[in-house]
Amino acid sequence: MVNSVKHLEEGKRLRILCIEDGDKIIGIAPLAQSRRSLRGWLGYEVVEPLAYWHNDFNGLILAERAQECLSLFLNYLYEQNDWDFIFLNNILETSIVFDILPKLKGTFRFETRYVGATSPYLTIPDSMSSLMNGLSAKFRKNLRRSLKSLEQDYGRVDLKKYNELGSLEETMNVYFDLHQKRWIGKGKSGSFADRKSREMCLSSARLLAERNWLALYFLMVNGKPIAAQYCIEHDQKVYYALGGFDPSFSSYSVGNLMIMKVLERCIEKKITEYDFMRGGESYKNAWSKEYRIGLDTKFVSNKLASRLRDLGMNVAKRTKLTKILDRFLIL
């Protein structure tokens, strides 16, 4: 079990599990543990994916012998018996985990449910004309009109990857500023309002850039960046993590123009899929009707106290009666 990490939320303890076969790692469970409370006083221990609240997707890395690895992870945690619940949340329904779990039903106590949020994605065709023809006539017309207006008002519009503009640190700061401009304009703080969040994102970007997985793009107008997309590119797929734009250009639909230009670059590179990540925002539906569903799975410890807490939670969810919650949770 790994016991240290550079960036970790306050109150969480790292619990990363690894399975080795000889000198090769074949399974990784990137988890963390924290203590929570019901109604501010009754504490319980939760094991869940690392940075769960900030991730669109979570999962386990099962490179080989997936069923054996998942069983080993769960057996290890159940033997430790120092937790009440394991929440494997926001895992896509296409994960191999859900092929394996039914086979483990008699061994471990768990339940799986659908999450409300969908995760749209676009299967990218082999040409830009095919992609545009797959859009609605109205949306296609609006895109072309917005691009033409932007070019007429400001000049040349093109797309640049971060390493075409400057150092990673310089371009990440431009990206942070564009993201913050958009959200501050909405009266919100944005994801990079503090130094800690910027440092964490920059640290991750360095690791991705070293592996050539970082796809940080900027929409340029006459050499000036007005919009950005932070994406991860791996295995011929692009995952759109987070973006931003200068709100003074919002009337030109620069968010959608940014997507169009990135997709154009994807076609050039023969990328097969663009993943919009979790959330059913209307702009995603304009690009694609394809989506995946996320699932949540909850494991309950064998401890009597944990099972009573679980029973109380379930009753409370169904009835929303505080008195019933109290009755089941007082030990």
- The residue type at 1: M
The CATH code of the domain at 12-119+293-329 is: 3.40.630.30
Residue ranges of domains in the chain: 12-119+293-329, 125-271
Asked, colleague to colleague, whether 12-119+293-329 and 125-271 share their fold, the answer is yes
Over the stretch 140-176, which tens digit does the pLDDT of each residue have?
Answer: 999 999 999 999 999 999 999 999 999 999 999 999 9
> Taken in order 90, 93, 94, 95, is the CA torsion positive or negative?
positive
Q: What is the pLDDT of residue 325?
A: 45
Rounded distance, CA 140 to CA 147, Å?
11
pTM, rounded to two decimals:
0.85
Give, as one character, the DSSP assignment of residue 188. S
- Which residues does the chain have with pLDDT short of 50? 1-4, 321-322, 324-325, 328, 331
User: Strands 85-92 and 42-49, how do they pair?
Assistant: parallel
User: Strands 214-221 and 157-161, how do they pair?
Assistant: antiparallel
- Torsion on CA atoms 216, 149, 147, 182, rounded to nearest 10: 30
Q: At 291, phi and psi to the nearest 5?
A: -160, 160
Residue 26 vs residues 39, 46, 48, 60, 192: alpha-carbon distances, Å: 40, 25, 20, 11, 35
Q: What is the pLDDT of residue 6?
A: 61
Per the CATH hierarchy, to which homologous superfamily does domain 125-271 belong? Gcn5-related N-acetyltransferase (GNAT) (3.40.630.30)
CB proximity list for 328: less than 8 A, separation 6 or greater: 308, 309, 311, 312, 315, 316
